[in-house]
């Protein structure tokens, strides 16, 4: 029995398929034929005729050219993870679009198609790897008293700053080293406004209700976040120091939470009656 004839897919169509995938930020296998045809400057029917009527033949030709046509996660997911690794390991400056594209196995054009630019990519990284979403969800919950909420916030912050890749600790370390550097500018655009609106808004409500002392909200935020943030950043580095022994993370959070409540919460008898 003779083997079926194999269709030779022209190189220009292979190139068109790869360009269309990069433009859309998708794998070749997920790009509609009409988009590939447009890149090739032909109609969809002409494209099908030139690849022998089979989409599979085109995908196989793309693979033979050294490009994986499918089976990979979307560019957006790969880029967010690649950017987070770069920031965690080498700092914000390392997370250029060129470096992210190289690490994620895509093109810079694909990153622009998926995010629109570096700012949007960094915003997505913060969404994924900072505790901001968890904090916003916790603050939105109802029915918790002040003590339970503060303890929950400390656990969320500790967990969010401890998990790998350690994006926010790397950014904060850069802020401490260079207060006027690029990390400060990025955090000022992506993280601080949301923290002020979410966590700061909740603290302002607690002040208005008389449950927390009437202090400037930015200072209350620092008093709430600062101790656990610094501890979480330094804890890994201090593990090998002789004589330094920390409680387990749960107990550590409880110690810091109770310290904040002693410092900032008002006595029950002085609170506004609801």
> Are 245 and 170 in contact, with CB atoms under 8 Å apart?
no
Is residue 46 located within the same domain as residue 108? no
> Are 246 and 235 in contact, with CB atoms under 8 Å apart?
yes
Written as six digits, the tokens of 273 are: 């009656």
Is residue 154 located within the same domain as residue 208? yes
Residue 122 lies in a domain: no
Place of tokens 């607690």: 206
Is residue 109 located within the same domain as residue 241? no
Q: What pLDDT score does 149 carry?
A: 95
Distance CA 1, CA 5 (A): 12
Q: What pLDDT score does 272 carry?
A: 55
The CATH number covering residue 85 comes to 1.10.10
Residue 124 lies in a domain: no
Q: What pLDDT score does 269 carry?
A: 61
Residue 3 lies in a domain: no
Is residue 152 located within the same domain as residue 87? no
Q: What pLDDT score does 105 carry?
A: 82
Give counts: helices (H), strands (E), the chain: 15, 0
Residue 101 lies in a domain: yes
Residue 87 lies in a domain: yes
Q: Please, what are the averages of pLDDT over each run of 10 residues along the chain (274 residues)?
A: 58 91 84 91 90 84 79 81 93 91 87 88 88 89 92 93 89 83 79 88 95 96 93 87 90 96 86 54
Q: What pLDDT score does 72 carry?
A: 65
Residue 195 lies in a domain: yes
Is residue 222 located within the same domain as residue 143? yes
Distance CA 253, CA 266 (A): 21
Decide: helix, strand or coil at residue 212: strand
Written as six digits, the tokens of 175 are: 């802020």
Residue 123 lies in a domain: no
Q: What pLDDT score does 64 carry?
A: 82
Q: What pLDDT score does 8 carry?
A: 83
Is residue 148 located within the same domain as residue 197? yes
> Are 261 and 232 in contact, with CB atoms under 8 Å apart?
no
Is residue 185 located within the same domain as residue 238? yes
Q: What pLDDT score does 24 carry?
A: 85
Is residue 146 located within the same domain as residue 217? yes
What is the domain count for the chain? 3
User: Structural domain of residue 20, as residue ranges?
Assistant: 11-64
Written as six digits, the tokens of 207 are: 């002040």
Q: What pLDDT score does 254 carry?
A: 96
Written as six digits, the tokens of 250 are: 């749960």
């Amino acid at each position: 029995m003779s083997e079926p004839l194999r269709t030779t897919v022209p190189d220009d169509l292979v190139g068109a398929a790869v360009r269309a995938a990069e433009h859309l930020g998708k794998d070749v296998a997920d790009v509609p034929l009409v988009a590939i045809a447009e890149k090739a400057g032909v109609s969809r029917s002409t494209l099908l005729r030139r690849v022998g009527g089979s989409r599979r033949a085109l995908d196989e030709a793309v693979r033979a050219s050294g490009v994986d046509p499918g089976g990979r996660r979307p560019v957006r997911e790969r880029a967010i993870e690649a950017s987070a690794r770069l920031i965690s390991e080498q700092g914000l400056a390392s997370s250029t679009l060129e470096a992210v594209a190289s690490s994620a196995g895509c093109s810079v054009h694909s990153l622009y198609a998926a995010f629109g630019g570096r700012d949007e990519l960094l915003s997505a990284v913060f969404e994924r790897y900072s505790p901001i979403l968890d904090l916003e969800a916790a603050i939105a919950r109802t029915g918790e008293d002040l003590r339970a909420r503060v303890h929950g916030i400390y656990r969320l912050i500790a967990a969010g700053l401890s998990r790998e890749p350690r994006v926010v600790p790397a950014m904060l370390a850069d802020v401490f080293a260079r207060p006027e550097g690029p990390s400060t500018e990025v955090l000022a655009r992506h993280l601080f406004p949301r923290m002020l609106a979410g966590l700061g808004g909740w603290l302002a409500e607690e002040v208005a209700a008389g449950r927390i002392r009437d202090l400037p909200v930015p200072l209350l935020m620092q008093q709430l976040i600062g101790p656990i943030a610094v501890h979480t950043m330094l804890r890994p580095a201090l593990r090998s120091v002789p004589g330094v022994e920390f409680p387990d993370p749960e107990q550590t959070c409880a110690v810091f939470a109770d310290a904040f409540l002693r410092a900032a919460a008002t006595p029950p008898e002085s609170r506004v009656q609801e």
